[in-house]
Amino acid sequence: MGEQPNQRRWNDQVSDLPAFYGNEKDTLSAESIVLRTEAAALALGWDDEATFNNFSLSLRADAEKWLQMTKEIREDFRPRWSFIKPYFRATYGTKVDESKVMQIFMEMKQKPNENPNTYAINFNENWRIIREQIKLRPIDVPEDPAARTVVWCQNLYKKGTTDTLADMQRLLFLAGMNKDLMPKVIQKDVPSFAAVLDQATKVYDLMHKEKDHPHNGIHQIDQTGDMSTDAEFVNQIQQGSNYRGNNRGNGNGYRGRSSSRGNSNKLDLIQATSLLNTVLKLVTAKVSTPRFIINIQTEDNSFIFGQQLNNLNNLGHAFYGNEKDTLSAESIVLRTEAAALALGWNDEATFNNFSLSLRAAAEKWLQMTKEIREDFRPQWSFIKPYFRATYGTKVDESKDPNNYAINFNENWRVIKEQFKLRPIDVPEDPAERTVLWCQNLYKKGATDNMADMQRLLFLAGMDKNLMPKVIQKDVPTFAAVLDQATRSYDLMHKDKDPPHNGIHQIDQTGLDDMSTDAEFVNQIQQGSNYRGNNRGNGYRGRSSSRGNSYRGGRGNSRGGYNNSGYSNNANANNGNGNNSGNSNNNQGQQAPASNPFKCLFCQAIGHHQDDCRKRIKANKPCVASSGKIYWPKPKVSRVEDKDNEEPQMQSAVKDLFQ
């Protein structure tokens, strides 16, 4: 049986894709054409080849010629939608490269008074562009199924998340780079953070080569008097016990110090989202972070080792990588090698002792080098050329890519800790762990990580008044954040609705918070007592009082919840004499002296749960008649961390990128 007429008309309508010209005639973007093509394919059940055929029929003019050219010049051409789609997007889609990423991030912020749903739609459009810049890496799956153990599969999933984070780090680092430097850096293929840093350093040095001038104090030291020979320096090391200075009995100085306090590097979600605002504001990081401690592996001469360390420090051997330095980087290299020669250190021991002489920015640089260079080895022969390249003669250290990289990496490390691995199910039967299954597992790790990044960035760009209320709830997904943001936004703006006419001018301050229906009904019933000048018409008449004068006598509680009568306050508010004709009426409408309300928290009579001291002391929220949990308005600020760490984190976030 042929198609029914209605179905046939529907199919014709759906399959009639809009024309795309590839020039100024177009009224739809390339992305819209892609979305419409895939929607039609889904509705009509087209396969890959049929989708390509229908798509090709929608092309006109330049776009049609482009398709013909693609067929002719690409040897691997296949008449498939999956083949042509990425080429079509690359040719006619929005041209986005790393140079535009920062601009996109700046647009991923909620505008003042913008509805969360509108913000989410705009955010998601920009996020889609960012996400396409992050590419999955090829992986090797063992041919032998027995080698695909549960642990191997778990590590494969972890690798998917790690690779995605590394690519996001690279992208954000590029986005925040100096506008004169970044376009030159991305001319080369820079697939990793380390590659970006190396290329940026080379380009920076070339850009400033002709502008060299005497360096600041850090390298203007006259080195002629700094131990002119290795022998003098070695001799002083060997006799070091005479030059310890005031060590206050600290015989184990080789342990190094840590400036971290407790768990100061452990952030909660609100601090992390504040930190992520740095993504939207590229600023030079100045936040101090905990120093790392290197575990020292000593040999038999541990006592001499400890002595020598103290001597190195007392001789001014510490290197900060900033204006505090009194020795150049080259002098540090010479002294380190002289000490290694005198004390018989091997390559690894030399590295360990060198690392202990680093402080401040130089110490952070070493930690960053460990994290970003996959071929890192804790050996002096490895670190020496990088140290020289980083801290050799420079022109303007405030713009040096290495300083920017160090500051960026310090903040990125804190952000990275907010990403948690999700539990995965690995089949018990090794035969089910096929190559395709393993590839999809790696992809799932990347996808999960991108979803978490999307959620955190969405929170980070949220209005500063809305975001603290959203994260009071558990919001593990982008959708959960949006739902909670919408509810919070509606509640926040409910109180800001314009005042209605007199019939609705009952005290609305507690409408969301009324503990019981009885409280609400009681307040309505007593409302006629507090209307000001009712002109003898009881509660029906208009009130001559302005604003909310009928609420008089609230004290520290909500309207109608205090222990004093309202009629006296009403009369007081009408002291202009307009109430003279109604004095008899008002005298018969005195409010009861006792408070009729019952606290839902402690069950006591005479106060509302908002003001219950037991509830406040227990730090518990209130429960409205609808079952919703809320904090009375003065208590909203309790979302702040009790240690008041949020300002520090906000400054750190504002610092990831400048």
Of 351, 358, 349, 305, nearest in space to 329 by CA: 358
Residue 598 counted as domain residue: yes
Q: What is the CA radius of gyration of the chain?
A: 35
**Residue pair 327/226 in contact by the 8 Å Cβ criterion:** yes
Q: Which of these three, 93, 117, 146, is where a domain ends?
A: 93
**Residue pair 61/55 in contact by the 8 Å Cβ criterion:** no
Rounded to whole angstroms, the Cα distance separating 139 from 440 reads: 11
**Residue pair 516/625 in contact by the 8 Å Cβ criterion:** yes
pLDDT, averaged in runs of 10, over the chain (658 residues): 55 68 83 86 90 91 92 91 88 62 73 83 80 78 87 89 84 78 77 82 76 43 42 54 41 40 43 50 36 36 49 58 76 81 85 84 83 83 82 55 76 75 84 88 87 85 85 84 87 64 45 47 48 45 43 42 41 44 45 62 84 86 78 54 41 49
What's the confidence (pLDDT) of residue 59? 92
Q: What are phi and psi of 642, to 5 degrees?
A: -65, -25
Residue 422 Rama label (left phi>0; alpha psi -120 to 50; beta): beta
Q: Reduce the DSSP state of residue 358 to 3 states and report it.
A: strand
Residue 544 counted as domain residue: yes
Interhelix angle for 302-314 vs 230-238, to 10°? 120
Residue 600 counted as domain residue: yes
Of 584, 518, 506, nearest in space to 550 by CA: 506
Of 427, 476, 270, 238, nearest in space to 344 by CA: 238
Residue 220 Rama label (left phi>0; alpha psi -120 to 50; beta): alpha
Of 430, 480, 432, 438, nearest in space to 459 by CA: 480
Residue 430 counted as domain residue: no
Q: Reduce the DSSP state of residue 133 to 3 states and report it.
A: coil
According to DSSP, the β-strands at 622-623 and 629-630 are: antiparallel
Residue 99 counted as domain residue: no
Residue 562 counted as domain residue: yes
What's the confidence (pLDDT) of residue 49? 93
Total domains, the chain? 2
Residue 45 counted as domain residue: yes
Q: What range does the domain containing 78 cover?
A: 5-93
Q: Reduce the DSSP state of residue 622 to 3 states and report it.
A: strand
Sign of torsion, CA 517 520 522 524?
negative
What's the confidence (pLDDT) of residue 496? 60
**Residue pair 137/162 in contact by the 8 Å Cβ criterion:** no
Q: Reduce the DSSP state of residue 177 to 3 states and report it.
A: coil
Rounded to whole angstroms, the Cα distance separating 569 from 584 reads: 16
Q: How far apart are the first and last CA of the chain?
A: 68
Residue 450 counted as domain residue: no
**How many beta carbons lie within 10 A of that of residue 489, not counting itself?**
23
